[in-house]
Amino acid sequence: MGAVNEILLKIKEYFKELYSEIRGLSFNELKDFIFKRRLFLISVLLIFILLGFSFGSYKSSKNIVLKNLQIALKDDKPGKIYKKIRVDGKKIKKEDLKPLTEYYSENKNQAINIAKDLKTKDNSGFFKLVNKKILFIDNYTIEIEPIAVKVNTNFENAKVYINNNEIAATNIKRGLIPGKYSIRGELETKYGLVSEEKEVFIMENTEIDLNIQAINISLTSNFNDADVIINDKEINKKVEEIKNYGPIPLSQDIEIQLKRDFPWGTVLSDKVKVGDVPNINININMANDKLIEDIEAIINNFYSSTFNALNNGDFKLIENSKEDAKSKIYDSIKRESLFLKNNYELNELKTEIKSSEFFYENGVYKGNIVVNLNYHISKKLIPFIDKNVEEMFLTSMEYNNGSWEVIDVQKFNLE
């Protein structure tokens, strides 16, 4: 403390002596005075120069920065100002500012207003004008308040890019400069890459939904043990295994088909295109040419033997059928006669396959076959007593022990 007082006292004595010299200074003594007090005078001159420079730099630095900011924003020229931009106190690259200048180049009036506001208020929106002096020299920079964006996609394993830069697995990008951005989602699938992209203006903390055009599917069928074929290639999976399977692109005309082996051969379903509905049902029509051929042969034999049984008076002669079916068809066609025996003759039999159905139930192949019969009833000894009959029968069949047989018969009509 004593040393400080001593210095202050010396300074006081110095200025007191200086004051006395200046008061008594004559023109002739001026040269000697300047030489004697040259260090002091040089110091005073430097102070005035620095003050003048500081004032000038204040005005020029601020105006130049704001002018360059306005040009950069209006004309989409990030190179004019990026060196004076700070985000979280850090310098940025020119390309980091590009989204912002692109946005304001499409909104020029906003760019002009920002520069005007910063002249008087030192802040406008997420812009803040900051003077970080270096000694006595002004050093103006513009702080930009960063934002965060979260991109939501409909597939967790999709990769998300903002301006071609992949963002974290959380799909959240922080420290982002506001502006115009391209957001792209990419999803790798077994059937190719699916990409979805859109341009957005991100001017505040926000969430963006990006819907990638793909789908996970679940299959059902009348044969859940059928093999699944996608785009003509077997995938080694059964229908029952296709639950939330995918992803499958929606834009590539992906087709699904089923295949199943039956005792009468391999049958393929129709092809079904994958659409935007996740639950897909594909049924297999198990009636191929071989099955129809077998059914028609059994049906013909069944009804032919029925008429043989009627003419011989013994329903047990009916072939390819269960006992209940034999008695039912026999009683359905038989007509009681008070005298003379009836004679039964089958004129025509039509198997209506289009009106029939085949299905698999409880581990058994079944079919309901529509049969149209045209037959004649007459008395052999009295030719003028006869009757022509046309009837339809729903003939139920099952596949047992390697062959089809009739298990039930019901007469019906379409009226």
Contact between 300 and 318 (Cβ < 8 Å): no
Q: How many Å separate Cα 95 from the centre of its chain?
A: 30
Contact between 349 and 303 (Cβ < 8 Å): yes
CA distances from 38 to 33, 49, 402 (A): 8, 16, 127
Q: What pLDDT score was predicted for residue 131?
A: 87
Per the structure block, which two tokens stand in for 272?
């079904």
CA distances from 368 to 74, 205, 239, 303, 401 (A): 79, 65, 25, 15, 19
Q: What pLDDT score was predicted for residue 339?
A: 63
DSSP state of 271: P
Whole-structure pTM value = 0.70
Q: What pLDDT score was predicted for residue 177?
A: 93
* Ordered DSSP codes for 122-142: SEETTEEEEE--BTTB--EEE
Contact between 369 and 397 (Cβ < 8 Å): yes
Q: Give the C-alpha separation, 257 to 284, whole Å.
A: 9
Q: HEC string of 195-246?
A: EEEEEEEECCCEEEEECCCEEEEEEECCCCCCEEEECCEEEEEEHHHCCCEE
Local confidence pLDDT in tens for the 415 residues of the chain: 566 666 666 666 666 666 566 666 666 666 666 666 666 666 666 665 555 544 444 444 888 888 999 999 999 999 999 999 999 889 999 999 999 999 999 888 888 888 888 888 888 888 999 988 776 677 889 999 999 999 999 998 899 999 999 998 778 999 999 999 999 999 999 999 999 999 999 999 999 999 999 999 999 999 999 999 999 999 999 999 999 999 999 988 899 999 999 999 999 999 999 998 999 999 999 999 999 999 999 999 999 999 999 999 999 999 999 999 999 999 999 887 656 788 999 999 999 988 899 999 998 999 999 999 999 998 766 665 678 899 999 999 999 989 999 999 999 875 5
DSSP state of 177: P
Q: What pLDDT score was predicted for residue 75?
A: 92
Q: What pLDDT score was predicted for residue 30?
A: 61
Q: What pLDDT score was predicted for residue 18?
A: 61
Q: What pLDDT score was predicted for residue 399?
A: 94
| Coil, strand or helix at 150 | strand
Q: Give the C-alpha separation, 152 to 170, whole Å.
A: 9
